[in-house]
Amino acid sequence: MNDVKFNKIIIFINSLVPLALLAWDASRGNLGANPVEFFLRTTGVLTLIFLLVTLSITPLRKYYGWNQLIKFRRMLGLYSFFYGFLHLITYSIFDKSLSVSAIAGDIWQRPFIAVGMFAFFLLIPLAITSTSGMIKRLGGKNWQKLHRLTYLAAIGGVVHFWMIVKSDVFYPLLFGIVLAGLLVYRIYLAYEKPNLQSEK
Amino acid sequence: MISKKPSDIKSSEITDEQIFLNRRNFIRAGVLAGTTLATAGVYRFINPPPPKAVVTAEIQGITKPTDFRTEEKLNTFEEITNYNNFYEFSTSKTSVARRAENFITRPWTIEVGGLVQKPKTFDIEEILKFSQEERIYRFRCVEGWSMVIPWVGFPLKTLLEKVEPLGKAKYVAFQTLYDSEQMQSSFSAGIDLPYVEGLRLDEAVHPLTILATGLYGKQIPNQNGAPLRLVVPWKYGFKSIKSIVKITLTDNEPPTTWNIAAPREYGFYSNVNPNVRHPRWSQATENSIGEYTRRETLPFNGYPDEVAKLYEGMDLKKDF
């Protein structure tokens, strides 16, 4: 077993810890007065955290040269999808009793639901094309282009979070600032590269 | 460190491969367990268990009138005291109990004035001597959840009669304590503080409208608005202002905190109304705390027979 493999196991297990604790607390009736809301909020925040961690891999590689990190990016991205899926399923079952018309009505009447739903649906093609086989089939360039949808999904996720809070925007703002930093760094890289070449 | 040439190393110094692998696995198991525990610790730090239930003094001589009580199943004391909107302490409903633990509620006075014959500042101890009764009310939050709560209190009318409102008085304005040493800033709460609310005078003197001094037979815990709060069961919960220090009778509609913050979302009346949509929460259904599926929300939160007549001739979709 090499170190990358072992590190993958560490990340895999640690990423499941919040879910394990949620399940443990739920089984003991310890999720508080409104367990559904707590589960929804926690899975939603986890989706965003994993999305932002996934988006920080490239900046960390470029800035610190930690190229090994690329080996963990797929798993982190898939965890974001996984927690987003739990978030959507919890909402669909407990809030909407799996009624398609109720969900459609909600999307229509409540912009924050529409935005959140949009962001999640952007993640679906990304999860499907996350395998090595799919990367080969699409070709690296195309795959990379497609996976830039992550930026839009992350923006959508943060906006969705912003829209649900009543007045205290601290956490949505925090996520927004981190996301803005990660995106601005990419823009900086895109403009920086041609300059370096022209200097040579 | 000087590294030895392979020929310098005695075979007895070389760690046996099996031991090397065991040691490596042992370290790995340690790293795995350590990181897992650390992650669990971070999760627990962010989501701490609720504090121990507060114990407050019993209220003596509570009467239990047979009207004014719903027959629905009561929410537990634990639910009622660990899921609170009280932005002065925290914007997280599950954190209010902890943050309000050391809130000082004695001495406490309530200044009642404005358009009245006999303005007066009441001491809370005097108010606690008013005859107290139990009222079991449904409580519906604008966020789409609800509870059934056994309040202890008395009609607001009782207090208003003592100061003799003038004929000009049309509205009642309420104000919560704001103490920056005990409470967070307006900036972090995201709303203007002190928190203010208001009722029309006929709403204020309605028999359902009470000032609550307790719940479950004991003095009201800090997180629920100690030592004195308003309860208006047919309106969204944010109308039922907590920890009141000032009551003023006015001739104009008083400003109200959530209306100032988002006028298109929260009206002055804010009667529970399944037909008036909200951009974030369903007002047609509600999550009754303790249940796992949503139920229908009732007009006026189930009190139309008592209060619908107050709004005759009004368009409640416009005056929401």
- 8 Å CB contact of B190 and A18: no
Residue B17 confidence (pLDDT) above 70: yes
Task: For residue A195, name the pLDDT band (cuts at 50, 70, 90).
Answer: low
- Is A36 in the B-facing interface, judged by CB distances under 8 Å? yes
The distance of A150 to chain B (nearest Cα, Å) reads: 25
- Average pLDDT rounded to a whole number, residues B104-112: 97
Poorest-confidence range of A2-6, A115-119, B71-75, B316-320?
A: A2-6
Phi, psi of B235 (to 5 degrees): -115, 160
User: What is the reported pLDDT for A167?
Assistant: 79
Q: What is the mean pLDDT of residues B246-270?
A: 96
**Percentage with pLDDT > 90 across chain B:** 81
Give the mean pLDDT of B36-54: 90
The pLDDT confidence band at residue A1, using thresholds 50, 70 and 90, is low
* Chain A, nearest residue to B80 by Cα: A33
Higher pLDDT, B251 or A95: B251
Q: Is the pLDDT of residue B84 over 80?
A: yes
Say how many domains are in chain A. Answer: 1
Q: Which residues of B touch A111 (CB under 8 A)?
A: 279
Percentage of chain A lying above the pLDDT 70 cut: 95
Three-class secondary structure of residue B109 per DSSP: strand
Inter-chain touch B35–A30, beta carbons under 8 Å: no
| Residues recorded for chain A | 200
pTM: 0.86
What is the distance in angstroms between the CA of the first residue and the CA of the last residue of chain A? 43
A97 touches chain B (CB under 8 A): yes
The per-residue pLDDT for B171 is 98
Among the listed ranges B3-12, B185-194, B211-220, which one has the minimum average pLDDT value? B3-12
Cis bond before residue B107 (omega within 30° of 0): yes
Q: What is the pLDDT of residues A35-89, one digit of tens each?
A: 999 999 999 999 999 999 999 999 999 999 999 999 999 999 999 999 999 999 9
Mean pLDDT of chain A: 92
Cα separation, B47 vs B49, in Å, equals 7
pLDDT at position A199 is 43
Find the closest chain B residue to A162 by CA distance: B280
- In this complex, the residue of B39, B82, B280 whose CB is nearest that of residue A32 is B82
Which letter does DSSP use for residue B240 in this model? S
Task: Yes or no: say if B195 and B244 are a contact pair by the CB < 8 Å rule.
Answer: no
Task: Give the range among B59-73, B98-112, B147-161, B205-219 with minimum mean pLDDT.
Answer: B59-73
8 Å CB contact of B87 and A167: yes
pLDDT at B200 over 90: yes
Q: What is the pLDDT of residue B25?
A: 85
* A4 at B interface, C-beta within 8 A: no
Domain boundaries, chain B: 77-311
Residue located via tokens 């007009």: B299
Residue B9 reports pLDDT greater than 80: no
Quick one: pLDDT at residue B1?
52
% pLDDT > 70, chain B: 98
Two tokens, residue B125: 């101890």
The pair of structure tokens assigned to A125 is 């093609």
Both structure tokens of A153: 């999904």
Q: Which residue of A has its CA nearest to B21?
A: A1
Residue pair B64/B50 in contact by the 8 Å Cβ criterion: no
Length of chain B: 320
Alpha-carbon distance of B75 to B81, in angstroms, equals 10
Q: Measured between CB atoms, does A131 come within 8 Å of chain B? A: no
Highest mean pLDDT among A24-28, A162-166, B8-12: A24-28
Q: Least CB-CB distance to B35: which of A14, A21, A33?
A: A14
Chain B interface includes A34 (CB < 8 A)? yes
Q: What are A99's two structure tokens?
A: 């009624």
The answer to whether residue B290 scores a pLDDT higher than 60 is yes
**Which amino acid is residue B112, in one-letter code?**
V
Query: In degrees rounded to 5, what are phi and psi of residue A141?
Result: -60, -50
Tell me the three state secondary structure of residue A38. Answer: helix
* Strand pairing class (B244-250; B109-114): parallel
> Pairing mode, if any, of strands B120-123 and B109-114?
antiparallel
Question: Any chain B CB within 8 A of the CB of A143?
Answer: no
Instruction: Provide the b/e sequence for B232-259 (b: ≥16 CB within 10 Å).
Output: bbbbbbbbbbbbbbbbbbbeeebebbbb
pLDDT of residue A194: 64
- Residue B282 tokens read as 């369903």
pLDDT tens by residue, B131-141: 999 999 999 99
Q: CA of B257: which chain A residue's CA is closest? A: A167
pLDDT at A185: 95
> In which order are the strands placed within the sheet that holds B244-250?
B120-123, B109-114, B244-250, B171-176, B196-200
pLDDT at B4: 58
pLDDT per residue as tens digits for the range A113-146: 999 999 999 999 999 999 999 999 999 899 999 9
Phi-psi map region of B68: left, alpha, beta (phi>0 left; psi -120 to 50 alpha): left
Superfamily of domain B77-311: Oxidoreductase, molybdopterin-binding domain (3.90.420.10)
* pLDDT value at residue B279: 86
pLDDT recorded at residue B6: 65
For residue A141, what are the domain limits? Answer: 3-199
ipTM of the complex: 0.87
Tell me the pLDDT tens digit for each residue of B143-183.
999 999 999 999 999 999 999 999 999 999 999 999 999 99
B92 Cβ contact partners less than 8 Å away, ≥ 6 residues apart: none
Q: Which amino acid is at B233?
A: P
Using the CB atoms, write b or e for B60-85: b if 16+ within 10 Å.
eebeeeeebebeeeebebebbbbbbb
Q: Distance from A20 to chain B by nearest Cα, in Å?
A: 9
A27 near B CB under 8 A: no
Rounded Cα gap, residues B260 and B158, in angstroms: 30
Q: Is A194 helix (H, G, I), strand (E, B) or coil?
A: helix
pLDDT mean over B105-112: 97
CB contact under 8 A, B189 and A168: yes
Phi, psi of B134 (to 5 degrees): -90, 135
Whole-number pLDDT of residue B223: 97
- When CB atoms are compared, the residue of B49, B75, B293 closest to A30 is B49
| Burial category of B202 from C-beta neighbours within 10 Å (exposed 0-12, middle 13-18, buried 19 and up) | middle
A200 confidence band (pLDDT: 50, 70, 90)? very low
Distances (CA, A) of B143 to A104, B214, B288, B300: 20, 24, 11, 16
Give the mutation candidate from B21, B27, B47, B270 for the A interface (greatest A CB count, under 10 A).
Answer: B47
Cα radius of gyration (chain B): 27
Q: Which residues does B133 contact at the CB level (< 8 Å), separation at least 6? A: B62, B63, B64, B65, B68, B152, B153, B154
Pick A190 or B33 by higher pLDDT: B33
- Asked if A14's CB is within 8 angstroms of B94's CB, the reply is no
Backbone angles phi, psi at B296, to 5 degrees: -65, 140
pLDDT score recorded for residue B108: 98
